[in-house]
Chains A and B, each alone.
Chain A
Amino acid sequence: MAISQETVEQVASVSEKYKYGFVSDIEADTAPIGLNEDIVRFISAKKEEPEWLLEWRLKAYRHWLTMEEPEWAKVEFPKIDFQDIYYYSAPVQKEKPKSLDEVDPELLEVYKKLGIPLKEQEVLAGVEGAHNVAVDAVFDSVSVATTFRERLEKEGVIFCPISEAVQNHPELVQKYIGSVVPHTDNYYAALNSAVFTDGSFCYIPKGVRCPMELSTYFRINAAQTGQFERTLIIADDESYVSYLEGCTAPMRDENQLHAAVVELVIHKDAEIKYSTVQNWYPGDENGVGGIYNFVTKRAACRGENSKVSWTQVETGSAITWKYPSCILQGDNSVGEFYSIAITNNLQQADTGTKMIHLGKNTSSTIISKGISAGRAQNTYRGLVRMGRKADNARNHTVCDSLLIGDKCGAHTVPYIENQSRTAKIEHEATTSKVSEEQLFYCQQRGLSEEESMALIVNGFCKEVLQKLPMEFAVEAQKLVGISLEGSVG
């Protein structure tokens, strides 16, 4: 309840158009433009990677060459010239910082401008112990600061940039990388496998409940630099972790590609809660600029009673192509997907999930709220599949779409496949608009039209907002209001 009571204050307190629009000019150490095997080798060499990883990257690259870009999503954009992208750029550092004092002050300045307002900034500034949020800050592909390491280490939790994990825990990385999203999986995942520069790695050992929420801020910075993050999280038996991911990006006129891969492995009786607030630059009112967000996220619930929960609030990006998925292998495993996708102006989102039920008594829940305004196109695309051995499996799906204005589109494309007699699938979807009556009622009580809209839409999204951890819920509610600015009146 407390969350929703705060809603409108927060909506009202944020009135700027897009306050994260600026560019910082840190000198980049950049690979030549374009992509070939030498670039893949360059990246691997820069990262001082072992031979097996280079080989894996090359395999991915060679496979990528044989693939074609997927065209089935309901999104339109000019063809990407993959040879016109820089695949490696890193902020200049003499050597890895031993403390935050050694971090480029301009970086810290960036965080300030970003309004990494929350506790994270204190954390980055070194105010230790004040808050239980560990931040592995990814800035332009290279992790520059990792905090709370010690506290996590005491519990045996490994939380570090994946490049570091490759050096320090190669056996874990080798065992799990590509095990959920293989290098052949899809066009963008193959590309990512070949050229990923960094990302987060997290391992929660058996029986450990991670003592704090883990958080990573991604930020795209240098012009024309595609971002290829790779995240790998492993929850060993009976462990638990909640992972937060949030993003903002500088204003740009040129489209920027982001093709991340996130792999989650959940063992017996373990649980991962993965929350995302995505607020990358969506382009301007005329659809100029904006991020292409082509992400592959997948969780494998390998063990019995394992559980994964994806919660996402997608308000940014010019194009979102994203289907956080759950492979429910272990008996009694649980998959959840809670999503809010807001598109305004000329944004396009094609997002949803896949629930692949393989084990007995597996269950999944999908709640998707799509809001389309301006001239935007918003598509829910999802798959629920009950395998032959998924005895007594259950799925319940609700996907609701809201239309604001008569020039936008809202689409629902669910695929439902049942091969198990005892499995039950229930799917329901609705599409409607914000009613004129509701708007008038709010206005009659003194709320402006935009405030009214923000309030009603927040109400529409409530079931999903409630699933977010506190820090994110607050930010997400603000975003709902901000994202819809200009959509009424």
Chain B
Amino acid sequence: MKQLTPLAQDYIGRFDTALQSLPGHDNPGITALRKSGLETFSKLDFPNHRIEEWRFTNLNALTKGITDDVLAEPIARSEAFDAHIIFTLVNGQIDLGNSVLDNLPEGMRLTSLATELAKGRTELLETEAAENRSVVALNTAFMEDGFVLELDENVKVDAPILIRFVSNGGSPTNARHLRNIVHLGAGAEATLVEEHVSNGGHAYFSNPMTKISLEEGAKLHHYRLQNESKTAFHLSMVDCDIKDGAFYDNFTLSLGARLSRNEISADILGSGATCALNGAYLMRDKQHCDTTTLTRHLVPENDSRQIYKGVLDGESRGIFQGKIHIAEDAQQVAGDQLSKALLLSDRATVACKPELEIYADDVKCSHGATSGELDEDALFYMQSRGIQEDEARKILITAFLTDVIDEIETEAVRTYFAKIATDWLEGV
């Protein structure tokens, strides 16, 4: 048998000790769940490039073990928009001082997973079939906390709900395994904004896993900003179940981390449901950003769409893997996907694998993928009108990003994300 990676060995070695202080440790059900997670992880280790889903993302830099000895310059953070409901987790622990949780609307609960487990709410973690994703299994074994958002039937929350994940470094393991749970009852509506940010240039491993379930007719806008420290590793997973007539849209803006992976798996379980997965990634230096989506249409009459755009500068690398699966008998389904990448430098690279897997015939599916540099003709045209090259470039890149950022329905968030993108462009 081949040897496990050093980091995997480290995790396995300290599991028993860690278990004592992890939430739910006094509950046999939770402990059993963690143990099964560890068992799966022990079998699989961290993913390597021989696993098809990971062929473009190499975790060697992470799995040889991270040390928090690289201090990059602190990240200049733009101020978040004005939110009335804020839930802050610092280094994986809830920070009530920086949270605003009073005046939650009736029928809405926003708490921490540790709190809920302490109350004995183990049903929150009752998960389905055996997990074959090793990073999820690791998360299951070591999840320390996270947010739990629950909306009762027909509760509609207009104001965006802001969840901030702040990492400061300095914690003993340099790892945050967070498990978040979102459940929207039938007809409920919410706008959820996640920020994954750092207050310094520490190296750490951020591993948030969010499980979302949307009941009939529920509607969730899920906006995420990944702006981790430039030396951090960020492996996030979102699993979402979408029932009849429900609507889920996800927009992820990635600019941070040395290596990041944004993995989304959406199961469309109802007719009339819609799933929209969008995002933009802005990378420079030696950053590596991987977006991997799986949209499964499991029943007839629903639709999904995706647009991802990347801007790659320096020696950065962008990955997009998007798979649309249409199950047998899932007729009258539409699935569209578009991936576009812009290469700004000679050393930047992109790899893309848009995949269609279709077992029903009455479907309309398409995907498109493009990659290349800025349109030289447009650039020249603008220069000929007296616009300086730098300025012209920024205008073109902004235009490139605008149509995907415009997919964000909530205006405050759209403006916020657009501002962040503009700030990033200043560094091009």
CB–CB under 8 A between A and B in the complex?
A: yes
B-binding residues in A (CB < 8 A): 72, 388, 401, 403-433
**CB contact under 8 A between A410 and B349, given known A424-B372, A428-B366, A429-B368:** no
Is residue B391 within 8 Å, beta carbon to beta carbon, of the partner chain?
no
Closest chain B CB from A365 CB (angstroms): 15
Residues B366 and A403 in contact, CB atoms below 8 Å apart:
no
Residues A421 and B344 in contact, CB atoms below 8 Å apart:
yes
Residues B370 and A425 in contact, CB atoms below 8 Å apart:
yes
Q: A-facing mask of B357-382, CB < 8 A → 1, else 0? A: 11111111111111111000000000
Complex formed: what's the CA distance from A87 to B366 in Å? 44
Show 22 residue pairs from A and B whose CB-CB distance is below 8 angstroms, ordered by the A residue: A388-B346, A403-B358, A406-B329, A406-B331, A406-B362, A408-B359, A409-B357, A409-B359, A411-B356, A414-B352, A415-B351, A417-B349, A417-B350, A418-B350, A421-B345, A425-B369, A425-B372, A427-B368, A428-B366, A428-B369, A431-B365, A433-B361
Chain B residues within 8 Å of A433, by CB: 361-363
Residues B346 and A431 in contact, CB atoms below 8 Å apart:
no
Chain A residues within 8 Å of B64, by CB: none
Complex formed: what's the CA distance from A406 to B361 in Å? 5
Chain A residues within 8 Å of B328, by CB: 406-407
Chain B residues within 8 Å of A426, by CB: 368-370
Is residue B353 within 8 Å, beta carbon to beta carbon, of the partner chain?
yes
Chain B residues within 8 Å of A427, by CB: 352, 354, 367-370
Is residue B135 within 8 Å, beta carbon to beta carbon, of the partner chain?
no
A-binding residues in B (CB < 8 A): 52, 328-329, 331, 341, 343-346, 348-373
Chain B residues within 8 Å of A410, by CB: 356, 358
Chain B residues within 8 Å of A432, by CB: 363-365
Complex formed: what's the CA distance from A429 to B354 in Å? 9
Chain A residues within 8 Å of B351, by CB: 415-418
Closest chain A CB from B344 CB (angstroms): 7
Which A-B residue pairs are the 3 nearest by beta carbons? A424-B372, A403-B361, A412-B356
**CB contact under 8 A between A421 and B367, given known A406-B329, A409-B357, A416-B352:** no
Complex formed: what's the CA distance from A424 to B369 in Å? 11
Main secondary structure of the interface of B (DSSP, over half): strand
Residues B366 and A413 in contact, CB atoms below 8 Å apart:
no
Complex formed: what's the CA distance from A274 to B352 in Å? 29
Residues A414 and B372 in contact, CB atoms below 8 Å apart:
no
Complex formed: what's the CA distance from A431 to B324 in Å? 11
Residues A418 and B341 in contact, CB atoms below 8 Å apart:
yes
Residues A421 and B361 in contact, CB atoms below 8 Å apart:
no
**CB contact under 8 A between A412 and B367, given known A404-B361, A407-B328, A419-B349:** yes
**CB contact under 8 A between A422 and B361, given known A407-B328, A416-B353:** no
Looking across the interface, which residue of chain A has its beta carbon closest to that of B323?
A413
Complex formed: what's the CA distance from A354 to B8 in Å? 36
Chain B residues within 8 Å of A401, by CB: 356, 358
Complex formed: what's the CA distance from A424 to B375 in Å? 10
Chain A residues within 8 Å of B346, by CB: 388, 420-421
Residues B343 and A431 in contact, CB atoms below 8 Å apart:
no
Chain B residues within 8 Å of A420, by CB: 343, 346
Residues B361 and A428 in contact, CB atoms below 8 Å apart:
no
Closest chain A CB from B164 CB (angstroms): 35
Closest chain A CB from B313 CB (angstroms): 10
Residues B372 and A418 in contact, CB atoms below 8 Å apart:
yes
Complex formed: what's the CA distance from A433 to B369 in Å? 22
Closest chain A CB from B391 CB (angstroms): 20
Looking across the interface, which residue of chain B has its beta carbon closest to that of A436?
B362
Residues A411 and B355 in contact, CB atoms below 8 Å apart:
yes
7 new A-B contacts at CB < 8 Å, known A72-B52, A415-B353, A418-B371? A406-B360, A408-B361, A409-B359, A422-B372, A427-B370, A431-B356, A432-B365
The one of A407, A411, A413, A423 that contacts B353, using a Cβ cutoff of 8 Å: A413
Chain A residues within 8 Å of B370, by CB: 424-427
Complex formed: what's the CA distance from A422 to B368 in Å? 19
Looking across the interface, which residue of chain A has its beta carbon closest to that of B345?
A421
Closest chain A CB from B326 CB (angstroms): 9
Complex formed: what's the CA distance from A416 to B357 in Å? 17
Chain B residues within 8 Å of A409, by CB: 357-359
**CB contact under 8 A between A403 and B369, given known A72-B52, A411-B356:** no
**CB contact under 8 A between A430 and B366, given known A406-B329, A411-B356, A413-B355:** yes
Looking across the interface, which residue of chain A has its beta carbon closest to that of B364?
A432
Residues B357 and A411 in contact, CB atoms below 8 Å apart:
yes
Chain A residues within 8 Å of B352, by CB: 414-418, 427
**CB contact under 8 A between A430 and B341, given known A416-B351, A421-B373, A422-B373:** no
